């Protein structure tokens, strides 16, 4: 090996700064175990991985609460179960619901009487039997009673009865204390917040449900890296594999890690990401015509500069480069390279030694 290196050194040109061609023939290249790989043009590079927490977007979260006070007699679903819009979630036994139904039926009865009175007075007024004042008073009573019915119907809707149940009540006049709580949207039960047999007040939480596609990633990005991040920057997670984009960039610096919160939205069709999960997220950096992806072992450090050894006819030419981004298994560099160039990725120590000895 020493004889080969000495032979290489004698074939070198004059100095380091001129980046001389390290002359080597195929036999020497094979003996030194030199292997090359073509540089890869880069249109988008991935930065280092940053810790990120998975969250459900606020617009996709909902707390299911008790619309009336009462006794929680039944829970139909549990944490981790999917639910569909309109699905029965819980049953509450509520005496107050019975009272609201009674008041609604009474208001309906008064509305019927008021409507009959209005029809009668309309006819009497047309025949000139009653004065205008009496007709106006009768119409006002009808309008007031109709408003009361609307208010009582709205109270039943707020109490948790749906329109079909209210129509059934109007038809059958059968009161019930069982209040059915139904899912307002499709989603997943994220948390169960009450237990059967528990007395609940109005607005007491029972379930928390959410839609799990898409999801948010809350990424803490170091302040010095923030200048390369904009709204719309691509984001990816390798495990589990998904991609998305940045939607907001925070303004505060967190005291724990001096990072800035960057929020990204990512797709989750397979439900492989879970709320509360911690993952490693990478942010994209845009490349240009002088950006190339190479393995880490292709780079050499000489006199404070970074170099790659480009294969040429008769040997290898050192080319100065700069590192613009780091990926998990590669580096993104900028330098005077062109498509098809091949750089040494093994045997570089021998080439470097021969280059420096020749320069000396």
Residue 103's domain is classified under what CATH number? 1.10.287.470
- Cα(260)–Cα(224) distance, rounded to whole angstroms? 10
Same structural domain for residues 202 and 76? yes
Confidence of residue 360 (pLDDT cuts 50, 70, 90): low
| Highest mean pLDDT of the ranges 19-23, 96-100, 159-163 | 96-100
Q: In whole angstroms, how large is the CA radius of gyration of the chain?
A: 38
The whole-number average pLDDT for the span 199-223 is 92
| Secondary structure percentages of the chain, helix, strand, coil, to 5 | 30, 40, 30
Q: What is the CATH number of the domain that holds 32?
A: 2.40.420.20
Does the structure show a pLDDT above 50 at 16? no
Does the structure show a pLDDT above 80 at 218? yes
Q: For position 144, what pLDDT does the model report?
A: 92
- What tokens does 149 get? 């019915």
Task: Decide if 121 is inside a domain.
Answer: yes
Same structural domain for residues 336 and 300? yes
- Cα(56)–Cα(218) distance, rounded to whole angstroms? 10
Same structural domain for residues 187 and 279? no
* Whether pTM exceeds 0.75: no
Whether residue 240 has a cis bond before it, omega within 30° of 0: yes
Task: Decide if 347 is inside a domain.
Answer: yes
pLDDT, tens digit, 9 for 90 and up, residues 87-124: 999 999 988 888 888 999 888 899 889 999 889 988 88
Task: Give the range of the structural domain holding residue 338, as residue numbers without chain letter.
Answer: 2-43+289-359
Task: Decide if 156 is inside a domain.
Answer: yes
Tell me the three state secondary structure of residue 156. Answer: helix
- Cα(276)–Cα(284) distance, rounded to whole angstroms? 24
Question: Is the Cβ–Cβ distance between 103 and 156 less than 8 Å?
Answer: no
Task: Decide if 171 is inside a domain.
Answer: no
- What tokens does 3 get? 């004889």
Q: How many domains does the chain have?
A: 4
Same structural domain for residues 78 and 37? no
Q: For position 288, what pLDDT does the model report?
A: 58
Question: Is the Cβ–Cβ distance between 358 and 22 less than 8 Å?
Answer: yes
Q: For position 56, what pLDDT does the model report?
A: 94
Q: For position 208, what pLDDT does the model report?
A: 95
The whole-number average pLDDT for the span 17-28 is 73
Same structural domain for residues 249 and 235? yes
Task: Decide if 168 is inside a domain.
Answer: no
Same structural domain for residues 217 and 269? yes
Confidence of residue 334 (pLDDT cuts 50, 70, 90): confident
Average pLDDT, the chain: 85
Q: For position 286, what pLDDT does the model report?
A: 63
Q: What is the CATH number of the domain that holds 282?
A: 2.40.30.170
Same structural domain for residues 205 and 218? no
13 vs 154 pLDDT, higher one: 154
Using DSSP bridges, classify how beta strands 291-294 and 61-65 pair: parallel, antiparallel or unpaired.
unpaired
- Cα(64)–Cα(90) distance, rounded to whole angstroms? 10
- Cα(229)–Cα(217) distance, rounded to whole angstroms? 15
């Amino acid at each position: 090996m020493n004889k080969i290196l000495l032979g290489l050194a004698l074939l070198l040109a004059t100095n380091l700064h001129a980046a001389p061609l390290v002359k080597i023939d195929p036999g020497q290249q094979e003996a030194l175990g030199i292997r090359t790989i073509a540089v890869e043009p880069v249109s988008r590079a991935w930065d280092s991985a940053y810790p990120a927490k998975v969250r459900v977007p606020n617009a996709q979260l909902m707390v299911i609460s008790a619309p009336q006070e009462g006794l929680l007699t039944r829970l139909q679903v549990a944490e981790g179960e999917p639910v569909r819009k309109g699905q029965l979630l819980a049953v509450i036994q509520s005496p107050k619901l019975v009272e609201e139904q009674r008041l609604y039926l009474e208001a309906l009865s008064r509305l019927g009487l008021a409507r009959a009175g209005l029809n009668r007075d309309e006819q009497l007024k047309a025949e000139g039997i009653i004065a205008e004042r009496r007709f106006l008073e009768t119409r006002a009573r009808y309008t007031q009673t109709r408003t009361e019915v609307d208010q009582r119907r709205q109270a039943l809707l707020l109490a948790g009865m749906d329109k079909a149940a209210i129509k059934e009540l109007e038809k059958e006049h059968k009161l019930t204390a069982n209040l059915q709580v139904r899912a307002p949207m499709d989603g997943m039960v994220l948390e169960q917040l009450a237990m059967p047999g528990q007395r609940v007040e109005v607005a007491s939480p029972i379930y928390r449900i959410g839609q799990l596609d898409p999801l948010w990633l809350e990424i803490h990005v170091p302040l010095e890296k923030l200048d390369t991040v904009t709204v719309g920057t691509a984001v990816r997670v390798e495990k589990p594999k998904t991609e998305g984009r940045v939607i907001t960039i925070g303004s505060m610096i967190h005291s724990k890690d001096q990072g800035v919160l960057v929020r990204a939205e990512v797709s989750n069709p397979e439900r492989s990401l879970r709320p509360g999960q911690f993952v490693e997220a990478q942010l994209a950096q845009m490349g240009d015509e002088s950006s190339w992806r190479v393995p880490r072992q292709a780079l050499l450090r000489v006199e404070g500069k970074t170099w790659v050894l480009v294969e040429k006819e008769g040997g290898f030419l050192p080319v100065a480069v700069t590192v613009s981004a780091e990926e998990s298994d590669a580096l993104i560099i900028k330098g005077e390279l062109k498509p098809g160039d091949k750089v040494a990725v093994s045997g570089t120590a021998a080439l470097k030694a021969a280059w420096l000895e020749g320069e000396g």
